[in-house]
């Protein structure tokens, strides 16, 4: 029989060993915490008592070439609400609504709006009254999570003027923050979203201020440990001229209004004219003097976060995508403005003698071809009689250029892609490199690209062959070729300079404000591109034809330039009317002046607005009036129903 006293003794011994082991472990851990790792925990304790507050720096201003302010900053009374406080204290929303005279549902909509960062307070109003600010501060216990502050925000003294060019700012999203790790960006910071605001974000954004506060266990401030004032961003001096920008936008909108009130005999309804764009460039260095896109938008609506109602209005189909910058992103068939490239190709390759004439009967028939599809016609089937390249440009003879397109195809073994090569040498088919978000490359099609599209997607592109008719359509800027308004301006600017080309630029300098005025911090110099060597034998016949467009009695833009002092400021230009399937005609005009000393290059494109000579050329006329300091009183009214091409 086992000894009960021995068993009890054994159990007590085991318990004692366990207890001693536990005390030994606790004692060792205490020594480690107090002696060996005390410094680390002291650092953690200090950090737990420090709050870091960042103060956004004012963004740099945006000014025009003459230092007129385009985008400024102003101080605004802002009231914000913490999402967490709104969730824990729903009554605070009703109190805010009553104080600010707004609907509680509007505040709730902002509190759940995914466009606001989840880490920062939501702006409820950006223009609170002084009384509301004081009331919130004096009754903070009734408004938990509500803050009233004076902050710097973007201001637009000229409203919607140059909206697409300057762009807008908004709260940085997570993707934008991730892309800028280590660059002093915090959740809730404002960042450039488009236009110059985005392209020059590193310059416009200043260095945020920083304050480190020591707080007690109740999160009450004990003292300030560190403070650094914010450093404002650099100003950006644009190449645009506000006067030219204003004239461009006014002329563009005036043309749209004229088109809306004009009856289209082809479609038996008024022209839709939903959108358009215009670009003004200095051919001598690529500086953009004006860039307009219509319809436009108010960048001020994005300050503090755009409302759901405003965003839905901008996104509605009937608004015609006002946030799209058509000057750099709109892709259009160039119509007869493309004839510059076709003429250049024919003369450069010496396939065409400037004195060679073609009898324009109003129709061009393909050889060895039967059926109506083998007949290509002038606009209205008008016959121009014997024309050479100069006359063909002046009167916009399609038949003359149909013949060139046919010849290039027949000689494709010796002159492959002759028209395409000339177009690409003038910058078509590739992005210009202007550096603004949303630029498109356009397209210059050829047999290889047609085949590639077919092989990649035969259902969408069932025809993979390139035939004579495709070359003929290309010769007058129809078919699959598309350009942007910026590309069209660059094309004519490069030709105006005899083949000397530049990358378009929208800004010239970054400025630092000092006590002695602005100081240049950086220069954005002109960027030359590969140039063409255009001889007088190539240039002169084309220039003569382009000058005839606005001065010859048969010129397609002569009515638009009636009364303009062409003897003092000669203009060289080309009208275009592009046909787009299931749509009304697109009106185009591209030009430069003075023709003997180019300083201004202009492109104008209006969607579904009619003839280029009737509605697009008058826009350019008014831009040239402003450029040369003319009052424009002799300019005829824009009448979309008259004119040709």
Question: What span, in angstroms and rounded, lies between the C-alpha atoms of 399 and 381?
Answer: 10
Question: What does the pLDDT look like over 45-101, one tens digit per residue?
Answer: 554 578 777 778 899 999 999 999 999 998 878 888 887 777 788 888 888 888 888
Q: Is pLDDT larger for residue 129 or for residue 325?
A: 325
* CATH code of the domain occupying 51-238: 3.90.1310.10
Above 60 in pLDDT, residue 12?
Answer: no
pLDDT of residue 642: 46
Rounded Cα distance between 475 and 344, Å, is: 11
Rg (CA), the chain: 34
Higher per-residue confidence, 33 vs 175: 175
Q: Span 383-410, mean pLDDT?
A: 97
Instruction: Write phi, then psi, for 604 (nearest 5 degrees).
Output: -135, 130
Q: How far is CA 318 from CA 119, 161, 274, 315, 610, in A?
A: 35, 21, 9, 9, 20
* Residue 1, pLDDT above cutoff 80: no
Q: Does the structure show a pLDDT above 60 at 125? A: yes
Dihedral angle computed from the Cα positions of residues 359, 360, 364 and 368, in that order, rounded to the nearest 10 degrees? -10
- pLDDT tier at 38, thresholds 50, 70, 90: low
Give the position of tokens 């003038």: 426
Confidence band, pLDDT 50/70/90 cuts, at residue 37: low
* Residue of 79 and 327 predicted with greater confidence: 327
Alpha helices in 142-220 (DSSP H): 163-166, 174-179, 195-199, 201-204
Task: Give the tens place of pLDDT for each residue, 533-592.
Answer: 999 999 999 999 999 999 999 999 999 999 999 999 999 999 999 998 889 999 999 999
Report the share of the chain in percent with pLDDT over 70.
Answer: 90
**Domain limits of the chain?**
51-238
Average predicted confidence (pLDDT) for the chain: 89
Separation of alpha carbons 33 and 24, rounded Å: 14
| Cα→Cα distances 230→49, 79, 207, 213, 375, Å | 24, 21, 6, 16, 70
Q: Write the CB contacts of 24 (distance below 8 Å, at least 6 apart in sequence).
A: none
Alpha-carbon gap, residue 602 to 279, rounded angstroms: 6
Nearest to 305 by CA among 422, 88, 154: 154
At residue 403, what are phi and psi to the nearest 5 degrees? Answer: -60, -40
Comparing CA positions, the residue from 443, 476, 439 lying closest to residue 461 is 443
Contact, 273 vs 260, CB < 8 A? Answer: yes
> DSSP string spanning 129-144?
-HHHHHHHHHTGGGST
Question: Using one digit for the tens of pLDDT, what is the confidence trace for 133-158?
Answer: 888 887 888 888 888 777 778 999 99
Which residues have C-beta within 8 Å of that of residue 455, sequence separation ≥ 6? 464
- Quote the CA–CA distance of 481 and 464 in Å, as a whole number: 16
CA atoms within 13 A on the CB side of 9: 5
pTM of the model: 0.85
pLDDT: which is higher, 594 or 312: 594
């Amino acid at each position: 029989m086992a000894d009960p006293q021995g068993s009890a003794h054994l159990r007590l011994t085991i318990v004692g060993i366990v207890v001693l082991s536990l005390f030994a472990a606790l004692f060792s851990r205490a020594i480690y915490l107090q002696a060996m790792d005390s410094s680390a925990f002291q650092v953690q304790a200090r950090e737990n008592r420090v709050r870091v507050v960042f103060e956004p720096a004012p963004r740099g201003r945006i000014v025009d070439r003459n230092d007129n302010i385009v985008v400024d900053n102003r101080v605004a009374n802002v009231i914000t609400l913490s999402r967490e406080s709104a969730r824990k204290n729903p009554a605070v929303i009703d109190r805010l609504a009553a104080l600010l005279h707004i609907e509680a549902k509007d505040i709730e909509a902002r509190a759940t709006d995914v466009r606001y960062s989840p880490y920062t307070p939501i702006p409820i109003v950006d223009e609170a009254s002084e009384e509301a600010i004081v009331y919130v501060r004096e009754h903070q216990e009734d408004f938990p999570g509500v803050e009233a502050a004076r902050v710097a925000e973007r201001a637009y003294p000229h409203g919607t003027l140059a909206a697409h060019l300057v762009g807008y700012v908004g709260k940085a999203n997570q993707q934008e923050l991730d892309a800028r790790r280590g660059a002093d960006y915090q959740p809730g910071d404002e960042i450039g979203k488009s236009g110059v605001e985005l392209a020059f974000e590193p310059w416009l954004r200043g260095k945020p201020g920083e304050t480190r506060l020591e707080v007690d266990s109740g999160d009450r401030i004990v003292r300030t440990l560190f403070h650094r004032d914010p450093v404002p961003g650099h100003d950006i001096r644009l190449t645009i001229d506000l006067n030219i920008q204003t004239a461009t936008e006014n002329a563009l909108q005036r043309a749209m209004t004229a088109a809306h009130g004009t009856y289209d005999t082809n479609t038996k309804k008024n022209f839709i004219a939903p959108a358009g764009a215009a670009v003004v460039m200095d051919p001598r260095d690529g500086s953009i003097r004006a860039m307009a896109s219509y319809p436009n938008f108010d960048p001020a609506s994005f300050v503090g976060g755009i409302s759901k109602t405003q965003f839905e209005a901008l996104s509605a189909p009937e608004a015609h995508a006002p946030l799209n910058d058509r000057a750099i992103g709109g892709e259009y068939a160039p119509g007869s403005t493309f004839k510059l490239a076709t003429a250049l190709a024919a003369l450069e390759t010496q396939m065409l003698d400037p004195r060679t004439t073609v009898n324009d009967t109003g129709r061009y028939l393909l050889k060895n071809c039967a059926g109506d599809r083998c007949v290509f016609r002038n606009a209205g089937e008008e016959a121009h009689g014997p024309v050479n390249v100069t006359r063909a440009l002046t009167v916009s003879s399609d038949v003359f250029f149909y013949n060139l397109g046919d010849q290039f195809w027949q000689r494709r073994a010796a002159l492959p892609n002759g028209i395409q090569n000339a177009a690409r040498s003038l910058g078509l088919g590739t992005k210009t490199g202007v550096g603004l978000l949303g630029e498109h490359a356009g397209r210059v099609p050829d047999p290889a690209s047609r085949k590639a599209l077919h092989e990649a997607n035969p259902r969408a592109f069932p025809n993979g062959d390139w035939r004579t008719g495709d070359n003929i359509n290309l010769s007058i800027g129809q078919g699959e070729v598309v350009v942007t308004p910026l590309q069209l301006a660059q094309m004519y600017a490069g030709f105006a300079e005899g083949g000397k080309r530049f990358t378009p630029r929208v800004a010239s300098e970054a400025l630092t404000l000092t006590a002695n005025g602005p100081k240049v911090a950086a220069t954005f110099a002109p960027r030359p591109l590969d140039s063409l060597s255009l001889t007088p034998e190539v240039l002169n016949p084309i220039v003569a034809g382009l000058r005839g467009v606005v001065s010859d009695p048969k010129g397609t833009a002569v009515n638009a330039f009636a009364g303009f002092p062409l003897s003092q400021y000669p203009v060289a230009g080309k009208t275009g009317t592009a046909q787009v399937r299931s749509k009304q005609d697109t009106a185009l005009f591209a030009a430069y002046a003075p023709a003997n000393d180019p300083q201004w290059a202009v492109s104008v494109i209006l969607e579904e607005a009619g003839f280029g000579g009737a509605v697009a050329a008058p826009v350019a006329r008014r831009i040239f009036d402003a450029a040369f300091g003319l009052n424009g009183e002799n300019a005829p009214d824009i009448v979309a129903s008259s004119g040709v091409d």
